Amino acid sequence: MADEPQVRNAQDAGTAPEDRTKHPVDETLPPLKMFTSGLQHVAAMYAGVVAPPLIVGAAVGLSGTELTFLTGASLFTAGLATFLQTLGVWKIGAKLPFVNGVTFAGVAPMLAIVDTTENKADALPIIFGAIIVAGLLGFLAAPWFSRLVRFFPPVVTGTVITLIGISLLPVAFGWAQGPNPKAEDYGSGKFLGLAAVTLVVVLLLRRFTRGFLKQIAVLVGLVLGTLIAIPFGATDFTPVTEADIVGFPTPFHFGAPQFALAAIISMCVVMLVSMTESTADMLALGEIVERPADEKTIAAGLRADTLGSALSPLFNGFMCSAFAQNVGLVAMTRIRSRFVVACGGGLLVLMGLSPVMASLISVVPRPVLGGAGVVLFGSVAASGIQILVKAGLEKDNNVLIVAVSIAVGIIPITKPDFYHAFPETAQIILDSGISTGCVAAVLLNVVFNHFGRRTEDDEVTAPMEPGEEISETRGAKAAHAH
């Protein structure tokens, strides 16, 4: 009976008879179904992969051609990291249907590095150097990290993921106002209207469509928004006309990596966040595909993430991590083959080797990207809130952890000059709400949930009536419990 789920699943109808004795994760599908299913995974995460290089590249001040190159490099390295995770080598790779790509957790710290770098031409080499070091350290720490999961419960991971979304929303709002903050029409009704139309298109597609079209709602929204923007003169096709049909991401295109201590520390914190997210995703995906992720699997998966991140800067890519939206896609379609996802990784590599395909994304006007970004970044925050709902917030301790960590994390957003009196090296870390919020959540969780003895007073009391005293409420609750 235990083997029945391996045979009776949605993908069995298209598998070869000899494959039906295998676990669904290890099955291969017919070529056409393999391709279309892999393409669906790419579509589900495409916008998430190209958004970070667009954000960081714009902050550095890259031209349209250079921005296209950086985007293509991110697609290429995402494909390589996906190969490493799904197919595996030695003790590297969870061999689960994971799609890997640029993690959102690194965007805010990278923007902080850009802001504090006097010569913007050095910003990307400094970022790449920090990612290489963080990736190698993460690779070495993977076996030990897999044993420390108890220090990263849902109350910590949920808080961090929520902060990722909150920290990135201001970027979407800035995009919605236009491409040039110094232009007279910045924030005009034309730009805000394009952002609003794109947002509405994405919402309508998510609400009234199903299956594949619903999964690529953000991508379709970007396409339609770009077409609508053409009559308003907000679309520039120059990057497409200047791009080559075939190209290769030249190693260290933006210069040899530079190693700055503050930047390294900042990206090491991001690596910690990334490893935490990936661990949570592996645990969830293991349950979905009916192959629970044990300590050995988690360690192998983390090695793939960290090694992929360390190698990514060689081809001008950023830190890689598992994409949670693809975990949801596996759950929805019940197509659990890791080879389907590996096929998706192959498509990412091919897209990264075609500058023309990568340049299509740089054509998207900033306001259109801003409208879609509201959904994209807001969904990240919502994912964190979903985790927090299950994090045991009936306990006062956990409420305090979330409250203080989020408060610390949004300081750089609500008060950007809050740490202006600190040294510039310290500001790289402090100006990242994700980094500071993560550190705060981990430390508070250790203090409140691992030191000392918890009592009945840890439970959140019911809302009090006017004039009711705290002692009476808690006393009544304790008496009722006995």
328, 341, 318: which is closest to 75 by C-alpha?
Answer: 318
37, 116, 94: which is closest to 329 by C-alpha?
Answer: 37
358 by DSSP, 3-state: which?
helix
Q: Is residue 182, in this structure, part of any structural domain at all?
A: yes
Least confident stretch, 15-24, 173-182, 373-382: 15-24
Q: Is residue 141, in this structure, part of any structural domain at all?
A: yes
22 by DSSP, 3-state: which?
coil
Predicted confidence band at 266 (pLDDT cuts at 50, 70, 90)? confident
313, 360, 256: which is closest to 77 by C-alpha?
Answer: 313
459 by DSSP, 3-state: which?
strand
> What average pLDDT score do residues 275-302 get?
82
Strand locations in 61-195 (E):
100-102
pLDDT at 318 over 70: yes
- The confidence score (pLDDT) of residue 361 equals 64
Q: How far apart are the first and last CA of the chain?
A: 44
d(CA 212, CA 209): 9
pLDDT at 10 over 60: no
Q: Is residue 259, in this structure, part of any structural domain at all?
A: yes
d(CA 259, CA 132): 9
> What average pLDDT score do residues 106-121 get?
85
Predicted confidence band at 463 (pLDDT cuts at 50, 70, 90)? very low
Q: Note the helical H segments in 105-216.
A: 107-115, 123-145, 154-176, 189-208, 211-215
d(CA 73, CA 350): 11
Least confident stretch, 92-96, 255-259, 287-291, 334-338: 287-291
**DSSP letter at 321?**
E
- pLDDT digit string (tens) for 335-354? 788 899 999 899 899 888 98
- Averaged pLDDT of the chain: 80
Of 149-153, 237-241, 295-299, 327-331, where does the model show the most confidence?
A: 295-299
Cα–Cα separations (whole angstroms), residue 188 to 193, 223, 428: 8, 22, 32
> What average pLDDT score do residues 422-445 get?
80
Q: Is residue 62, in this structure, part of any structural domain at all?
A: yes
Predicted confidence band at 358 (pLDDT cuts at 50, 70, 90)? low
User: Is the pLDDT higher at 353 or at 471?
Assistant: 353
- Looking at the 3D structure of the chain, how many domains does it have? 1
Residue 43: domain span: 24-452
> Following DSSP, what letter does each residue of 306-323 receive, concatenated?
HHHHHHGGGGT---EEE-
Least confident stretch, 1-10, 118-127, 199-208: 1-10
Q: Is residue 124, in this structure, part of any structural domain at all?
A: yes
Predicted confidence band at 149 (pLDDT cuts at 50, 70, 90)? low
Q: Is residue 478, in this structure, part of any structural domain at all?
A: no
Beta pairing partners, 92: 89
Predicted confidence band at 470 (pLDDT cuts at 50, 70, 90)? very low
Predicted confidence band at 332 (pLDDT cuts at 50, 70, 90)? low
Q: What angle do CA 166, 167, 169 make, to 5 degrees?
A: 65
Least confident stretch, 14-23, 118-127, 410-419: 14-23
- The confidence score (pLDDT) of residue 462 equals 42
One-letter amino acid for residue 134 of the chain: A
Ramachandran quadrant class, 127 (left: phi over 0; alpha: psi -120 to 50; beta: rest): alpha
Q: Is the overall model pTM greater than 0.95, yes or no?
A: no
Q: Is residue 170, in this structure, part of any structural domain at all?
A: yes
- The confidence score (pLDDT) of residue 310 equals 95
- The confidence score (pLDDT) of residue 458 equals 54
- The confidence score (pLDDT) of residue 454 equals 52
Percent of the chain exceeding pLDDT 70 equals: 84
Q: What angle do CA 225, 219, 212 make, to 5 degrees?
A: 130
Predicted confidence band at 3 (pLDDT cuts at 50, 70, 90)? very low
- The confidence score (pLDDT) of residue 433 equals 80
pLDDT at 59 over 70: yes
How far is Cα of residue 252 from the mean position of the Cα atoms in its chain? 24
- pLDDT digit string (tens) for 434-450? 778 888 998 999 898 87
Q: Is residue 459, in this structure, part of any structural domain at all?
A: no
> What average pLDDT score do residues 360-371 get?
81
320 by DSSP, 3-state: which?
strand
d(CA 263, CA 454): 38
Of 155-164, 208-217, 305-314, 390-399, where does the model show the most confidence?
A: 305-314
